[in-house]
Amino acid sequence: MIEVRGLRKSFGENEILKGIDVHVDTGDVVVILGPSGSGKTTLLRCINFLEKADDGVLTVGDMTLDLKSVRKKDIAAVRKRTGYVFQNYNLFINKTARENVMLGLTVGRRMPKDQAFAIATAALDRVGLSDRYDHYPSQLSGGQQQRVGIARAIALNPEVILFDEPTSALDPELIGEVLQVMKDLAEDGMTMLVVTHEMGFARDVASHVIFMDDGVIVEEGTPKDIFNHPQHERTRQFLRRILKGEAGEFGGSGI
């Protein structure tokens, strides 16, 4: 279980997050929707301390932290319990796929090499990359790179994985393979907090959908609530625009 309450974040004069509450139960998939610049990335980055929040309370499992005054130890503890999947993958370019997955185990957790090797291999198998263990990121397609990114996160056995638009840097024909991996993870009971513009994924996989705009949560509910009966004009506008784009461009992501 992971929860943030009253999360606030400003960059200089600009308040980007204006008091955000998000709650993800164990085994749930919470999808965050919202227009560009609404603060979705900043929200995920604050949860994982890639950005320092100005205010708010974070709960991960049995740990509760005041985000105003976190210590290094707390940051390490939260990161140990959370995985992060980046929009642009951020694979270690000087490491092979398997080394990418192993590094957090061998160096971060001081696990023996052979044990980490086995876990990394299994994680890559799980995302369908059994034939790419020793490839460098530059030798992989975007979809394959992002699947290594997911393997890197799951190998550390996190309690929750944060996904920041995992498919938005991908060519349309590669989106499906990554979404399928995420769908499989969700079915296996992984707790996930996912920022995405993939409406098909949100509708089919999410247990809860949040619509964010301009640093606040405008509306949230089940996928049915949000997609079939949106309460707010801003939500309706956003959905109209996105769904029209999907239908027009490539008819959805195909899952």
Partner 1 sequence: MFNMEFARATMGAILREGLPATLTVVFWTLVISLPLGFLLGLIRFRRVPVLMPLSTVVISFFRGTPLVILIFLLYSALPDALARLAQIHGWGIDVYGLLLGSTKGYAVFICSTFTISTMAEIFRSALGAVEAGQLEAAHCVGLSTAQAYWHIVIPQALVSALPNLGNDVIGLVKGTSLMFYMGLKDIMGVAKTEAGPAYAYVEAYVDVLIVYVVLCFILQELFRHLEQRLRSYGAKG
Ligand X SMILES: Nc1ncnc2c1ncn2[C@@H]1O[C@H](COP(=O)(O)OP(=O)(O)OP(=O)(O)O)[C@@H](O)[C@H]1O
Binding residues vs partner 1 (CB under 8 A):
48-50, 76, 79-80, 83-84, 86, 88, 90-95, 103-104, 107-109, 136-139, 152-153, 156
Nearest distance in Å: CB 9, partner 1: 16
Per-residue binding letters, 159-198, with ligand X (x by CB under 6 A): ------x---------------------------------
Q: Which of 2, 4, 16, 127 binds ligand X (CB under 6 A)?
A: 16
The span from the CA of 84 to the CA of 48, in Å, is 8
Nearest distance in Å: CB 186, partner 1: 20
Q: Does 126 bind ligand X (CB under 6 A)?
A: no
- Rg, Å, the chain Cα set: 18
Nearest distance in Å: CB 142, ligand X: 17
Contact positions vs Mg ion (CB under 5 A): 41
Bridge-based pairing of strands 82-85 and 160-164 is parallel
Nearest distance in Å: CB 150, ligand X: 19
Token digits of residue 90 = 């951020």
The span from the CA of 112 to the CA of 106, in Å, is 6
Please name every residue paired with 65 in a beta bridge, in sequence order, or none if there are none: 58
Length of the chain: 255
CB atoms near residue 129 (< 10 Å) = 23
Q: Which of 8, 29, 30, 42 binds ligand X (CB under 6 A)?
A: 42
Q: Does 36 bind ligand X (CB under 6 A)?
A: yes
Contact criterion met (CB below 8 Å) for 57 and 5? yes
Contact criterion met (CB below 8 Å) for 5 and 46? no
Which residue type sits at 31?
A: V
Q: Which is nearer to ligand X, 50 or 77 (CB)?
A: 50
Please give the residue ranges that form the binding site for ligand X (CB under 6 A): 11, 16, 34, 36-42, 165
